[in-house]
Chains A and B, each alone.
Chain A
Amino acid sequence: MKFGVVRFPGSCDDVDALRAAELVGEAELLWHADRDLHGVDAVIVPGGFSYGDYLRAGAIARFAPVMESVAEFAREGGLVLGICNGFQVLCEARLLPGALLPNVSLRFVFRQVELAVARAEGPFTGACEPGERLSIPVKHTTGRFYAPDDQLDALDASGQVLLRYAPGHNPNGSLRDIAGICNEQGNVLGLMPHPEHAVDPLTGSIDGLKIFASMRVHLDDRVLAF
C-alpha cells in the first residue's frame, strides 16, 4: 500500500511524515499544485505551515488544487490523516467538524504529552488497546479544539473522538480534552499531536507508529475483503 504526503509551500513535517509512513508501507510526496493523487491508498496532510498561514491556519491551503482531489478522495471513503496544520486544513475544508483556535496561552507550545485512546477501533486506532496511553509530542500555536456544546455532545455520542489528552496533559485548552477527531464516516482523522514524531525509540517514543500501523492493517484488511 502507498501513502501520499501532501507538500504545501511551508510544510515542515512532510518529510517526517513520509519517513514514518515508510515504516509501514510505501510513501510519496504529493505536490500542492498537482491534482493527481498518483493512485495512493491513503493521504496524509502533514504539519508545519501552509502558504505561511498569515490569514488563518489552513485557510488558504483548503483551496489548493491538491485539496480538491483530497476532498473527493475522502468523500469516496479514502483514508485521510491530518496532522497539526493538516488538521487545521481539514477543518477549514469542512472535512472535519469544529475549529482550531489559538492556544489559551497564546503561545507556541512544544511538549511530550500523554494521549488516551478514546476509541480503539477503526482505521486509525484499530491497533491500539482501549484506554491505552500514547506518548506523542505536540507543537503548535493554534491547537485548541472548539465546537459548540451540542456538536461536542454529538461527537461524543457518535464515537468520533478518537484521542483525548490524558488528565493534566491538555496543552492548549482544547474543549473536552479533544486531541483527535474523525468524521462521521470514520475515514478522515485530524489530530494536533504529531504521531510522525513518535516512531523512533532514539528520538522519543514509538507510540505514534500505532496510528500508521492501524491504517496499514485497515487497508490490508480491505484489500483482503475484496
Chain B
Amino acid sequence: MTAFSPSRKHRALGLTDSEYELIVELLGREPNDVELAMLSLMWSEHCAYKHSRKLLRRLPTTGPHVLLGPGENAGAVDVGGGLAVAFKVESHNHPSAVEPFQGAATGVGGILRDVFAVGARPIAVLDSLRFGEPITSDRSRYLLERAVAGIGHYGNSIGVPTVGGEIYFEQSYEQNCLINAMCLGLAPRERLIRSAAAGPGNVVVLLGALTGRDGIGGASVLASAELGDGDEAKRPSVQIGDPFSEKKLMECCLELLDRDLLVSLQDLGAAGLTSAASEMASKGGVGLDIDVSGVPLREPGMEPFEIMVSESQERMLCVVEPERVGDVVEVCGRWETLATQIGSVIDGELVRVLDNGSAVAELPVSVLVDDCPLYDIAPEPPAKPVYASPPAALAGTESPAELLLALLSSPNICSRRPVFEQYDPVVQSRTVRRPQEADAAVLQLPGGSAIAVSIDGNGRRVACDPRAGAAEAVYECAANLACVGAEPLGLTNCLNFGNPEKPHVAWQLTEAVEGLARACEELGIPIVGGNVSLYNEAPNGPIFPTPVVGIVGSLPDAARAGRSGFASSGDAIALVGPFEPSLTGSELAKLRGVSPTGPLPAIDPTAVRAAHDAVREGIRTAVFHSAHDISEGGVAVALAECCIAGGVGATVQLPEGIDPFAEAPGRAFVVSGPPSALAGFTVIGEVGGDALEIAGQLKLAVSAMREGYDGVLAEVL
C-alpha cells in the first residue's frame, strides 16, 4: 500500500475509519479526492459538533425577545423601537496559539462577518482571552501582546468599537491560549436576513477577496485536534486577515441589503466555500452548482479541492435573482469589492462542484450537513485532581492589607487599561460606558434607550465544580448587566474544553452544559447562538473547562446607565444579595497555591434573582449612585475597585463572618447612594476620605491601591 491509498488519506484528513466506511455506504461508492476533502471538513468536530450536538439540545433557546436562534450565522433579539441586535461569540483558539496576531485578527474578522451576514451592522466587539502566567512565561507575554495587537489591528481598522472583554491568566492555558471574540450588530428588525438559499435558477455570487491557499484544512487540522509538537508547521493553516477588504465588504453587503438586492447571504468561515454552499443549500432545501473555474484566485494552478476548502478571509456568498445581478455588480464595483457569479441554485439535493462545466464532485446535501455521526460522550468524574496546584505566591503571614494589595496587583484582577487602551471603544458614537467605567458596556440606541453587554467566564471555578462554575458564569454576566440597569434579553456562549473523548473532559462538558442550562432557565435568559471549541489540550493536559458567556440586555434610559465607582462622599454603602462566600476556587486560594478543587457555594436562584432585580431597579431609578458585583477577590477587592474607579475612599464594617477575600460571584453587589435611599438594604459603611478602611481588617490609601492595581499589566505588556 502506498501512502496515498484511500485508507490512509482519510485519516490524514481527520476522519476515522468508521466515518469513512459510513461515507462510502451513504454514497454507494468511494468519494473522489475533492469530495473527500469537502467531507473531511464538514464532518470535522469544528463544523459538525459531533461530540457536543446532543448535549447542546439541553440548552433553552426560546424566549419572548428572540428573533433568530441557534443555527443562523448569529442569533438576534428584539431590543424595541423596531430594532434588532444580532450577536454571537466564537473561538479562534488554535490558530492564535500557532500565530497569535493573525489568529486573533481573523477571529475578529470572522465574527464580524457572522453578524453582517444576518444583515446587522456590527456595532461592538468584546473579547474573552486566556493565557498562561504573564509574569513567569515569555510565551504567555508573547501571545498576550500579539493577540491584543491583532484584535486591535482588525477592530480599530474596520471602525467597530471594542467595548469590553475579560482576560484571565492560568497555567493551564500556557500552550493552548483562548481567543474568543464576540460581536454585536444592529439592524432594523425587518432587515434581518437568513442564509437559506432559495429559488432554483437564482445565481450564486461570491463577494470579496481572492481565494488563496491560506487556511486550507484549518477546521480539521487545527481546530479539531489537540495542540502538540510541530505546530509551527501548521502556520500555513492560519488565515491572514485584511481589515480594509472586510471594511469594504461590510459596507457593500449592508448596502446590498438596504437595497433589497439579495435573496440570502452567508459568510465564508471554517471550511470556506464547502461549508457556505452546503449550509445555504441545506437550509433552503435546494441544491447548488458551484463552478470553481469562476472563482477569482490569488495564485494560479489551485486545484478544485483547494478552492473548495480554502479559508481565505473577507469573502461572502450570496444568492441573487438573475435580473438583479447587474445591480449587485454595480454596488460591489463602487465598494471596490469583487462580485463573481460562480454558480446557481438548482432543484434537487446535490451540491455539485464543477470545473469548467464538468463535475468534479457530486454530494448529497444531507451527507454533507446531516449525516455525520453524532457521538455520545462517556462522562466520568476524574478519580484524582486534573490540575496541578499553582505555585504559591504568598508566604501565609500577610496582613489583610498586604493580601488586598497582592490581589489588586495579581494578573487576574489588576487594571486592564494597558490592554483596552489599544482598542478604539468610541467609534460609531454609541458608547455610553467605556471599559472599566462600569460592570458592563453600554451603547445608546436611537430614541434614548440603550443596550448593555458583558462577557464572563472564570475557568478556575468551573475546574473546581463544572456545573456550579458554569452556572456562576451566567449569574455573574447577568449581575454585570444589572449593575448598569439592564435586563438580559439573550445569551451567547463559547464552550472551550479539552478532548471530549477523554472521560473527565466529557464529564466537565456535560456538567457545565447542565449548569448553563439551569442558570439560563432560572434567570429566564434564552441562548440564541454560540460555538463549541474542543480539543483545547497540550501535551501536559487540558485547559480549565472554560464556558464563556456573553449576555445582551436593554435599559430604557441611556442617561441613567450605572457606574461602578463610588460617586459622592457621604453616600451610604450597602451589600445587596445573598452572600455566603467561600475561598474555594478564589483568587486568594490560587495565590496561596491551592489546587482548584471542591464544591462552590450554592446558589439560591430566587434570592439572587431578587437581588439582580433590586440593583437593576436601583440604577434605573437613580436611587443608587453606583453598583458593582462582588466577584474575584471578594468584597474587599470589590470595595477597592469602587474606590479606585471613583477616586474616593470608604469606611465599612463587614457583616459578621464574611471573609473579605472569599468569593461567590454573580449573587451580591456593592452599591452606594444617599443614606435615606439605602435604608432597606444591609448598609455596611460610607463613602469618603482618601483611604479604604475595613474595620478590624485593613486601611489602605486609594493611591496605594491604585498603584498596585495599575502597574502589573503595564510592566508585562
Contacts and interface: CB of A to CB of B under 8 A. Distances in A.
Contacts of A11: 159
Given A48-B159, A49-B157, A108-B152, A137 B247 contact: no
Contact of B422 (A13, A54, A110, A203): A110
A204 interface: yes
A: contact size bracket: 20 to 34
A49 B153 CA distance: 11
Nearest to B423: A110
Interface string A1-44: 00000000111110110010000000000000000000000000
Contact of A203 (B156, B242, B429): B429
Interface centre among A10, A51, A204 (most CB of B within 10 A): A10
A172 B313 CA distance: 32
Interface string A188-206: 0000001011001011100
Given A9-B335, A12-B157, A49-B244, 20 more contacts: A9-B248, A9-B336, A11-B159, A12-B159, A12-B427, A13-B159, A13-B427, A16-B427, A16-B428, A48-B159, A49-B243, A51-B244, A52-B242, A107-B149, A108-B153, A109-B422, A197-B426, A197-B427, A202-B432, A203-B426
Interface of A: 9-13, 15-16, 19, 48-49, 51-54, 107-111, 137, 139, 194, 196-197, 200, 202-204
Given A54-B244, A108-B422, A110-B423, A16 B158 contact: no
A42 B238 CA distance: 46
Nearest to A137: B426
A74 to B, nearest CB: 26
Contact of B429 (A19, A109, A139): A19
A139 B424 contact: yes
Contacts of B428: 15-16
B191 interface: no
Nearest to B159: A12
Contacts of B156: 108, 139
Nearest to B430: A203
Contacts of B336: 9
B244 A202 contact: no
A53 B157 CA distance: 10
B421 A111 contact: yes
A202 B421 contact: no
A10 B431 contact: no
B254 to A, nearest CB: 12
Contacts of A15: 428-429
6 contacts: A12-B247, A52-B243, A108-B153, A109-B422, A197-B426, A202-B432
Interface string B441-458: 000100000000000000
Interface in B388-425: 420-425
A107 B421 CA distance: 10
Q: Give the 7 A-B CB pairs with smallest separation, nearest first.
A: A12-B159, A52-B244, A139-B424, A16-B429, A197-B426, A108-B152, A108-B422
A197 B426 CA distance: 7
A21 to B, nearest CB: 12
Nearest to B444: A202
Contacts of B658: none
Contact of B431 (A108, A111, A196, A203): A203
Nearest to B157: A49
A9 B247 contact: yes
A13 B550 CA distance: 27
Contacts of A204: 426
Contacts of A10: 157, 244, 247-248
